[in-house]
Amino acid sequence: MMVPIFTLKLNHKINPRMVTVGRFDGVHPCLTAATQAGKVFIHNPHARGQRPAAHRLSQSTQDSDISLLNINQAVTCLTAGPLGPTSAGDTLLVGSQTNLLAYDVHDNADIFYREVTDGANAIVLGNLGDIPSSLAIIGGNCALQGFDYEGNDHFWTVTGDNVRSLVLCDFTGDGKNELLVGSEDFDIRVFKEDALVSEMTENETVTSLCHMHGSRFGYALANGTVGLYDRTARYWRIKSKNHAMSIHAFDLNADGVVELITGWSNGKVGSHRRETTLIPSGRGSVIPFLFLFQIDARSDRTGEVIFKDNFSSSVAGVVEGDYRLDGEKQLICTSIEGEVRGYLPASKDLKGNLMDSSVEQDLVRELSQRRQNLLLELRNYEENTKGVSETNSSVGVIPANTQLQTALSVKPATEAQKAHVELSISTPNETIIRAVLIFAEGIFEGESHVVHPSAQNLAGCVRVPIVPPKDVPVDLHIQALVGGRSSTQFHVFEITRQLPRFSMYDLCSDPSAPPPAGRVTFSINDRPQRVVMWLNQNFLLPEGLNSPDVSFNSLRGGGLLSLSMSSSGQISLRSDDVDLAGDLVQSLASFLAIDDLSAEADFPAYFEELRTTLTEVDEFHSVHQKLTAAMADHSNYIRNMLVQAEDARLMGDMTTMKKRYRELYDLNRDLINEYKIRSNNHNALLARLKAVNQAIQRAGRLRVGKPKNQVISACRDAIKSNNVNALFRIMRAGTASS
Ligand code: CA
Ligand code: CA
């Protein structure tokens, strides 16, 4: 069994996910974490007694090994690492909703302090693509921005939603790093500099990402899922009812391959026992595991736990560093209460066996339970075959030609039922379906759905309504129990069907329906037949469709969608849903393997909304400036009043003193109210800025490749120079020059 090599109890709480290790003098690793009240603590046990000079840094009164850095606003992310080309030590980077601070802890000085309008929810440090300097890349409200050591931004782009996690790794295998971005729209996006090269859709907010090795990376979702990808293919994942607070790659059993280390938060107080299920990729079977502890290490190949340890409170962060200065790195786990534990990689004589005996006992118990179940099943089979040979009854025996048939069809809304996709599962003979289990991500609560017809409704066909919430292709893993009407034993049939990406669109045959005002047009060098193939693969269409000129009704109430293609290869997509138009352009371009696609677009209603938003951004900006000035005035006034009140007190003039303090009280109340107004104004401004970033991203998604990147960077230039007309010209035509 493996035990921590060191344990520390720091007298500071630690904000979840905001933990790092920095070697600020180039030698000594210091555990660094955000703590309450807008402070960052730096634990430096190696330089005892060195008192920091004034400025931002001060000594903790509770712990002589700890220095505190005052940020004066809530910290939202932090990291440390080499940023400058010359400095010997690591740079500390601290992000908030409004600023990014690069700090030289060793010299106790700001390196740069930049305002970041889109906030910094996540941060990563390193090299991206061909950009020569190391960058501090932050992800905020729909935006990504990378700064060099001088605070110049070398990288900026927009993304689909608020960023929650970032990691740099060589995803494509060309020796240069890509940026992986996890966001609140459940997507993991891969950026090669500012070009989006891959997109993987998960089913919850992507809260953490970490690089494993090569093109492999780990991820964690807000719903307790943790797993591993190799490029775009998911390798394995597990789902727990706990929250994965932090993930980290570390070779704990010293076999030369990193494990995925996860730090969990406890679910309910007093109950650490949680059930976790290991879900093999692409399969519906579920293996139950008992989940007992709060950090675990999982094999990168199988997802199986090779080590766990328990903490008395939620894990805040998992990092690594040579904390004992002996040349060997330790895995360092911290809890939100300030407990720190370091683990050394296992010595060779443990032979990779890191589990303590109680865990083994649990495993033995679990396996013997499984053996019991299998024996029971075997006995059933034996009795079944005996029954068949002796009485020749049909109990549990089904005809040899029995197979499972599935069909998917679009069902528009009726009075009785909401619009949905119907999955029908049937057998071709007199057999009945006793139960159906469907396993599909993001569709059913808890990912699986069981249909259990009552005895009088037993039939050879089961219909299941499915309502996919988003336009993404979903694999439906179906298991059906098939047998005779009086069977006591059933055969399990397994089948996988894919729900096409745009399954919630019903072919519309009404020629009189007015076309939507929104449109995007572009030209392709491909036959109409190829577009028809794409339609058939991505929509649920009746057989025999052979024209690319089609119209659909959105079952989610998004109105009409129409597609037409001219003989010259010009395609016109009409929809008032700009997101849908973007999805369709991306899907078609990827099907036809188009690398670069420019397009003209107009979405009158959406653009009008955006124009209003831009006006509001201006208004909120000017209100912000006025309020800031007013608050400064007020603060000065308060200072004067305080001096006058104190003077009056010293002079014994109680009447004046009382009067001044009453005025002070009123002023203070005004100031607090002003602060509230300013704070509301700021939040309103942030929401508008997010909408603007989203609009730029949407305009980009109507194009592919270079034209897409050109639109995004030209839009940003237009915003920077406050040229609203140019912005709309770019969004419509794809270029700034008309
Ligand atoms: Ca690469
Ligand atoms: Ca290992």
pLDDT tens, residue by residue, 123-167? 999 999 999 999 999 999 999 999 999 999 999 999 989 999 999
The ligand whose atoms approach the alpha carbon of 178 most closely is 1
- At 388, the pLDDT band (50, 70, 90 cuts) reads low
Strand partners, 139: 122, 144
Instruction: Indicate the DSSP class of residue 332.
Output: E
Determine the distance separating the centroid of ligand 1 and the alpha carbon of 126, expressed in angstroms: 13
- CB-CB contact of 108 with 52 (8 Å): yes
507, 552 contact by CB (below 8 A): yes
Alpha helices by DSSP H, listed for 348-498, are: 357-391
3-state secondary structure of 538: helix
User: What pLDDT was estimated at residue 311?
Assistant: 87
CA 494 – CA 481 distance, rounded (Å): 9
pLDDT the model gives residue 356: 62
Tell me, in angstroms, the distance from the centre of ligand 1 to residue 193's CA. Answer: 10
Contact 250, 214 (CB under 8 A): no
Closest by CA to 164, choosing from 110, 264, 244, is: 244
Q: Which residue has the higher pLDDT, 117 or 250?
A: 250
- What is the reported pLDDT for 380? 75
**pLDDT tier at 393 (50, 70, 90 boundaries)?**
very low
The most confident of 343-357, 394-408, 645-659, 673-687, by mean pLDDT: 645-659
Token pair listed for 168: 């740099």
pLDDT of residue 270: 34
Average pLDDT over residues 79-88: 86
Q: Beta-carbon neighbour count of residue 630 at 10 Å?
A: 15
Average pLDDT over residues 565-593: 96
Q: What is the dihedral of CA 239, 242, 245, 251, to 10 degrees?
A: -60
- Interval between CA 173 and ligand 1 midpoint (Å): 5
Cα of 329 from ligand 1 centre, angstroms: 27
User: For residue 393, what are the contacts with CB-CB under 8 A and spacing of at least 6?
Assistant: 387
Give the ligand with the smallest distance to the CA of 252: 2
Q: How far is the CA of 188 from the centre of ligand 1 (A)?
A: 16
How far away, in angstroms, is 186 Cα from ligand 2 center? 29
Q: Is the pLDDT of residue 12 over 60?
A: yes
Q: What is the distance in A from the centroid of ligand 2 to the CA of 233? A: 21
Interval between CA 338 and ligand 1 midpoint (Å):
37
For the segment 276-334, what is each residue's pLDDT rounded down to a tens digit? 444 444 433 333 344 445 899 999 999 999 888 888 889 999 999 999 999 999 999 99
Distance 258 CA to ligand 2 centre (A): 5
Give me the chain's average pLDDT, please. Answer: 88
pTM, entire model? 0.81
Distance CA 106, CA 42 (A): 11
Judged by average pLDDT, the poorest of 57-61, 73-77, 328-332, 678-682 is: 57-61
pLDDT top residue among 182 and 626: 182
DSSP at 268: B
pLDDT at 285: 36
Q: Which ligand is nearest to the CA of 307?
A: 2
> Rounded to the nearest whole angstrom, what is the distance from the C-alpha of residue 83 to the centroid of ligand 2?
30
CA 462 to centroid of ligand 1, rounded, Å: 47
Question: What was the pLDDT predicted at 564?
Answer: 95
Distances (CA, A) of 192 to 20, 197, 315, 422, 615: 26, 6, 33, 39, 33
Look at residues 66, 67, 101, 58 and name the one whose alpha carbon lies nearest to residue 83.
Answer: 101
Ligand (nearest to CA of 175): 1
345 C-alpha vs ligand 2 centroid, how far in Å?
Answer: 9
The ligand placed nearest to the CA atom of residue 261 is 2
Containing 58, the helix (H) or strand (E) segment is strand 57-59
Average pLDDT, integer, range 191-196: 90
Is the separation of the CB atoms in 258 and 247 below 8 Å? no
Ligand (nearest to CA of 346): 2
**According to the model, what pLDDT value does residue 50 have?**
56
